């Protein structure tokens, strides 16, 4: 590759973490990585500076009549008569080969080359390197060409092609001053910012954003001032039209355009030293979820609210989980890619870990969505949405595993970051181990999602097995597909039907069907079909279109209400835009010794005795006292949620209906059947396999 509260279905949401692509922020760099990047930046900068000096020297000789007027000094093929640029290019290639080994004890991180995607044209064609780049050897060849190409472009504008016989001595001096001053400016920018980045890399911050505009020591400003002073001295009396640089009308405009040209060339060189953008459209997307509250305490925009009681409106999503999808932007497509078609989940390569046997999730299989001989029982080989999701609210813990029933479809736009994506799931709900450990954990894994099972399962039927963590809940710990819940704790059979559609636009759910007695004078958001009470619905049409009657039932769930408010009135919550609060109560009361990372409680109580009863399931065998009082949340009618289209950090919105589980405690605590509402904050990444 190049590159959820007590409810059942909240697991379903993490499927939709993708959107248009962008590279993920760089992880901490090893010493080998630092050496490699430093060598690339240093050698690339020297190559470009050598090319600038060579072109400047050619112009000086041409202006002085030492070489023919027909010599095109802005082309290195003409200017580099002594082979200095070729030598610098070969030195860059050799330096990269030495400092960027891809095997052995001093090898760079495998993913480091992924930041260099395509070799820009015409160098891609001229060097014959593959698109996408696959090795540092390819990169060396590309940069050796690109350094000269950028220099030729910069000098074609800055130096122009004046007619030597028409230049006076003053004009020639002005022309030479341009070459010296602004070539030096471009070289200073590249060298200074490369030095800045070298320091940033040592601190573990590989992101180039800060250094791309840095001038911490003022060297760039000094070089610019010196270049402009040189123009004032040498070009004031020159005929700028004959000098034929990037501006011929005034000295002031000449200063502006030369500074712009030098900066543009330096910006291109600095950026290319650390990454190269794709010149082809992606074939896949990898999206990493940012939890509402991450294990390190950072807060993202993700949020999850489920069920009509309001008790299930305070779960964080699992942080760091990756969703990998295939996309089709059209054969041979190049940026801008526009709307690309989502063609399904990736199930091979780095995504093969989530292809698991239905009857034993610890066993991997290869025949995704089919029957596989390596699987026990019937042999179903499923694509699992995510590692088991730990959810706990109202003293009811559950552990949810969702499989993809109908594969991903929809569109994602690489430039705008807009998306509309759908997937059908079957979410299997299991009663949790304890209120503070709903799912088995994967303890001690050193590097998440690397395929290496360095951790050990704690709890569940896989207790003691080795595991690789794929995500971490800030409250309930790290989770892994290698550590499944107990199948005997399943309370939903083949799983709840969850039909998700997520968007970067607006997701809306109206209250479209009659609630149940005694509140049947009100409308509710969700129900189940009268002809099949496992099928969730928003309105009668969804049921009648499938021949399943009307959306008027609650099946095994609790009688539906519009909300859990004492007066059935949900008022806008100023602290949570788009959501409501029960002004008339009742409040939600929890034990104060068991609090989620987001500050909300999850062990419901009426008295301290209720907290004492669950003491053995709480941290340090103490659930605290029944003093944590929270306002009861509720859904407004209609439920409206807005996503954000952003190619680097999109936000997806989804609303959906959740059918009931075969568990009275789960249904009563959360309010099922009922609505769900989720915001998904993520960092996406293009892939090109």
113 vs 136: CA distance, rounded Å: 7
Q: What integer best gives the mean pLDDT of the chain?
A: 93
Is 184 part of a structural domain of the chain? Answer: yes
Q: How far is CA 138 from CA 128, 148, 628, in A?
A: 9, 16, 60
Beta strands in 251-379 (DSSP E): 284-290, 303-306, 322-328, 339-345, 355-357, 360-364, 370-371
Neighbours of 106 (CB within 10 A): 14
| Cis ω for the linkage preceding 171 (within 30 of 0) | no
Radius of gyration of the chain (CA): 31
Q: What is the pLDDT of residues 234-261, one digit of tens each?
A: 999 999 999 999 999 999 999 999 999 9
Q: How many residues does the chain have?
A: 689
Query: Which residue in 194, 293, 312 sits closest to 676, CA to CA?
Result: 312
272 vs 205: CA distance, rounded Å: 18
Is 445 part of a structural domain of the chain? Answer: no
With contact defined as beta carbons under 8 Å apart, do 511 and 521 qualify?
A: no
Q: How far is CA 604 from CA 402, 573, 591, 612, 635, in A?
A: 26, 22, 6, 12, 20
Check whether 11 has a pLDDT greater than 80: no
Question: Quick one: pLDDT at residue 440?
Answer: 98
> Using 50, 70 and 90 to split pLDDT, how confident is the model at 619?
confident
| Cis ω for the linkage preceding 134 (within 30 of 0) | no
Q: What is the pLDDT of residues 468-503, one digit of tens each?
A: 999 999 999 999 999 999 999 999 999 999 988 899
Range of the domain at 204: 31-274
616 vs 657: CA distance, rounded Å: 35
Question: Quick one: pLDDT at residue 14?
Answer: 36
Query: Which residue in 688, 687, 684 sits closest to 652, CA to CA?
Result: 684
Question: Quick one: pLDDT at residue 204?
Answer: 82
Is 104 part of a structural domain of the chain? Answer: yes
551 vs 315: CA distance, rounded Å: 28
**pTM of the entire predicted model:** 0.82
Question: Quick one: pLDDT at residue 500?
Answer: 86
Question: Quick one: pLDDT at residue 331?
Answer: 87
Residue whose token pair is 């080359």: 113
Map residue 566 onto helix, strand or coil: coil
Could you please report the per-residue DSSP string of 585-624? -PPEEE-TTSB-TTS-B-SB-SSHHHHHHTGGGSGGG---
Question: Quick one: pLDDT at residue 27?
Answer: 52
356 vs 360: CA distance, rounded Å: 8
689 vs 685: CA distance, rounded Å: 13
With contact defined as beta carbons under 8 Å apart, do 527 and 542 qualify?
A: no
Degrees to nearest 5, angle at CA 436 with 455 and 557? 115
602 vs 310: CA distance, rounded Å: 12
- Bridge partners (DSSP) listed for residue 571: 581
Is 319 part of a structural domain of the chain? Answer: no
649 φ, ψ (degrees, to nearest 5):
-155, 75
Q: How far is CA 461 from CA 358, 361, 389, in A?
A: 15, 11, 16
What's the mean pLDDT in 423-442?
96
What's the mean pLDDT in 414-441?
96
Is 201 part of a structural domain of the chain? Answer: yes
Is 387 part of a structural domain of the chain? Answer: no
Q: What is the total count of domains within the chain?
A: 1
Is 325 part of a structural domain of the chain? Answer: no
Q: How far is CA 686 from the centre of its chain?
A: 9
Percentage above 70 pLDDT, the chain: 96
Question: Quick one: pLDDT at residue 28?
Answer: 73
Using CB atoms within 10 A of its CB, is residue 654 exposed (0-12), middle (13-18) or buried (19+)? buried
With contact defined as beta carbons under 8 Å apart, do 411 and 341 qualify?
A: yes
Of 21-30, 583-592, 629-638, the poorest mean pLDDT is in 21-30
Q: What is the pLDDT of residues 157-177, one digit of tens each?
A: 999 999 999 999 999 999 999
Using CB atoms within 10 A of its CB, is residue 127 exposed (0-12), middle (13-18) or buried (19+)? middle
Check whether 1 has a pLDDT greater than 60: no
Question: Quick one: pLDDT at residue 8?
Answer: 33
Check whether 80 has a pLDDT greater than 80: yes
What's the mean pLDDT in 494-517?
94
Percentage above 90 pLDDT, the chain: 90
The tokens describing 385, both together, are: 């949405």
Question: Quick one: pLDDT at residue 689?
Answer: 77
């Amino acid at each position: 590759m190049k590159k959820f509260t007590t409810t059942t279905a909240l697991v379903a949401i993490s499927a939709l973490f993708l959107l248009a692509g962008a590279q993920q922020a760089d992880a901490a760099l090893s010493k080998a990585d630092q050496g490699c990047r430093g060598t690339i930046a240093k050698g690339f900068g020297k190559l470009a500076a050598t090319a600038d000096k060579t072109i400047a020297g050619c112009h000086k000789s041409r202006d002085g009549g030492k070489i023919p007027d027909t010599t095109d000094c802005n082309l290195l093929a003409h200017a580099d008569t002594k082979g200095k640029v070729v030598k610098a290019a070969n030195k860059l290639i050799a330096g990269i080969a030495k400092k960027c080994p891809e095997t052995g004890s001093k090898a760079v991180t495998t993913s480091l080359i992924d930041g260099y995607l395509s070799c820009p044209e015409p160098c891609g064609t001229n060097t014959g390197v593959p698109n996408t780049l696959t090795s540092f050897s390819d990169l060396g060849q590309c940069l050796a060409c690109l350094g000269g190409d950028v220099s030729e472009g910069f000098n074609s504008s800055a130096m122009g092609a004046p007619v030597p016989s028409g230049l006076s001595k003053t004009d020639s001096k002005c022309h030479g001053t341009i070459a010296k001053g602004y070539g030096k400016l471009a070289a200073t920018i590249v060298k200074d910012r490369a030095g800045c980045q070298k320091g940033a890399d040592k601190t573990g911050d590989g992101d180039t954003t800060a250094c791309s505009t840095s001038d911490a020591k003022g060297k760039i400003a000094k070089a610019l001032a010196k270049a402009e002073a040189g123009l004032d001295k040498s070009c004031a009396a020159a005929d700028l039209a004959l000098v034929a640089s990037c501006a011929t009308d005034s000295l002031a405009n000449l200063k502006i355009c030369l500074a712009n040209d030098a900066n543009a060339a330096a910006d291109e060189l600095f950026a290319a030293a650390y990454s190269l953008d794709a010149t082809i459209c992606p074939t896949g997307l990898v999206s990493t979820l940012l939890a509402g509250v991450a294990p390190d305490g950072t807060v993202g925009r993700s949020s999850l609210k489920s069920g009509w009681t309001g008790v299930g409106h305070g779960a964080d999503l699992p942080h760091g989980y990756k969703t990998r999808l295939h996309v089709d932007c059209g054969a041979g497509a190049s940026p801008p890619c526009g709307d690309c078609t989502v063609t399904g989940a990736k199930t091979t390569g780095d995504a093969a870990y989530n292809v698991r046997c239905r009857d034993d999730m610890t066993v991997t299989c290869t025949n995704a969505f089919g029957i596989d001989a390596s699987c026990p029982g019937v042999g179903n080989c499923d694509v699992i949405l995510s590692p088991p999701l730990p959810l706990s609210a109202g003293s009811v813990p559950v552990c949810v595993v969702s499989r993809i029933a109908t594969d991903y479809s929809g569109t994602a736009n690489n430039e705008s970051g807009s998306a509309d994506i759908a997937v059908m799931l079957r979410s299997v709900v299991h009663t949790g181990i304890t209120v503070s450990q709903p799912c088995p954990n994967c303890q001690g894994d050193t590097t998440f999602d690397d395929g290496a099972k360095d951790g050990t399962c704690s709890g569940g039927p896989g207790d003691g097995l080795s595991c690789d963590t794929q995500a971490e809940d800030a409250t309930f710990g790290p989770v892994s597909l290698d550590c499944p819940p107990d199948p005997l704790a399943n309370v939903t059979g083949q799983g709840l039907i969850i039909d998700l559609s997520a968007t970067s636009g607006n997701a809306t759910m109206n209250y479209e069907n009659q609630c149940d007695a005694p509140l049947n004078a009100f409308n509710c958001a969700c129900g189940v079909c009268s002809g099949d009470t496992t099928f969730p619905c928003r309105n009668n049409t969804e049921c009648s279109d499938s021949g399943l009657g009307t959306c008027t039932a609650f099946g095994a769930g609790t009688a539906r209400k519009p909300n859990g408010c004492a007066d059935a009135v949900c008022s806008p919550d100023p602290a949570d835009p788009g959501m409501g609060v029960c002004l008339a109560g009742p409040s939600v009361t929890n034990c104060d010794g068991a609090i989620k990372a987001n500050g909300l409680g999850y062990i419901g109580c009426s008295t301290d005795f209720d907290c004492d009863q669950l003491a053995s399931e709480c941290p340090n065998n103490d659930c605290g006292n029944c003093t944590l009082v929270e306002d009861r949340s509720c859904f407004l009618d209609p439920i409206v949620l807005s996503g954000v289209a952003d190619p680097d950090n999109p936000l997806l919105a989804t609303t959906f209906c959740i059918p009931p589980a075969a568990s009275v405690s789960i249904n009563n605590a959360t309010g099922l059947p009922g609505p769900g509402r989720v915001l998904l904050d993520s960092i996406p990444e293009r892939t090109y396999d």
